[in-house]
A = this chain, B = another copy of it.
Amino acid sequence: MREVLIADDHPLFRDALARAVTQAVPDASLHQADSVAALLNLIEAHPHAELLLLDLHMPGANGFSALVHVRGQQPGLPVIIVSAQEDARVIQRAVGHGASGYIPKSTSADNIVAAIQRVLEGDVWLPPHVSGLTAKVESAEAAAAAHVAELTPQQFRVLGMIAEGLLNKQIAYELNVSEATIKAHMTAIMRKLNVSNRTQVALLARRLALDPALETADYG
């Protein structure tokens, strides 16, 4: 039984992906998540999954940070990015951050099935219109990614909330631990990211964003 994880916040598209997976791998065991938080739990519950379909625009994804973290935690788990974005530069960055495939949401069902099969065989699948792709990532972004990949799952959760401007107290409440614990994570995160305060942590996390103007939080 081959386990496949699907992470997408759009229920309709999530179902469509599920059908494609079932068609590509009839004996697949499917597990779905509609947020990055849920995805992290899913990964911990199914450490031997063989494929992850990941939406770039999910709540809490913060651009490529979810991809980068998953790749750091489970280097053997191939990830196919699913996104409405078809910009070649975004695809380039995704591959540079370790994605094994990229499926624009306009892709036909047949091609999605083919992509899943190819990636499960160890290949990389990209949309037909991107040909000679170099997978280049800015050095500042690559450095940020390398550090984010080192974080533990819990530290990654904390990172996401720092990047939304939350207080330690609020993060502690969300994760059901004491504020002291969050502070300990903070110290560890700052050490791993090689910075000295939470503002720099938040700014570094945002380097993996897709677009500076597209933000989830909306203060102001």
Q: Which of A110-168 contact B (CB under 8 A)?
A: 137-138, 140-141, 143-144, 147, 162-163, 165, 167
The answer to whether the Cβ of A88 comes within 8 Å of any Cβ in the partner chain is no
The answer to whether the Cβ of A204 comes within 8 Å of any Cβ in the partner chain is yes
Contacts of A140 in B (CB 8 A): 213-215, 218
Contacts of A204 in B (CB 8 A): 219-220
How far is A50 from B143 in the complex, measured between Cα atoms in Å?
43
Q: Is the CB of B200 within 8 A of A165?
A: yes
A 179-210 to B, binary, CB cutoff 8 A, 1 in contact else 0: 00000000000000111111110111011111
Q: Is the CB of A215 within 8 A of B220?
A: no
Contacts of A27 in B (CB 8 A): none
Candidates B63, B193, B217; contact of A212 at CB < 8 Å: B63
How far is A195 from B71 in the complex, measured between Cα atoms in Å?
34
How far is A144 from B219 in the complex, measured between Cα atoms in Å?
9
Q: Is the CB of B194 within 8 A of A219?
A: yes
The answer to whether the Cβ of A15 comes within 8 Å of any Cβ in the partner chain is no
How far is A159 from B163 in the complex, measured between Cα atoms in Å?
18
**A215 touching B219 in the complex, CB below 8 Å, given contacts A165-B197, A199-B165:** no
Contacts of A195 in B (CB 8 A): 165, 219-220
Q: Is the CB of B208 within 8 A of A212?
A: yes
How far is A163 from B141 in the complex, measured between Cα atoms in Å?
17
**A138 touching B213 in the complex, CB below 8 Å, given contacts A143-B220, A165-B197:** yes
Residue of B nearest to A208 (CB): B212
How far is A198 from B197 in the complex, measured between Cα atoms in Å?
11
Which 10 residue pairs of A and B lie closest in terms of their CB atoms, listed nearest first? A165-B200, A138-B213, A141-B213, A209-B212, A194-B220, A195-B219, A165-B199, A199-B202, A143-B220, A199-B199
Q: Could you write out 6 A-B pairs with CB less than 8 Å apart?
A: A140-B215, A193-B220, A194-B219, A194-B220, A199-B202, A204-B219
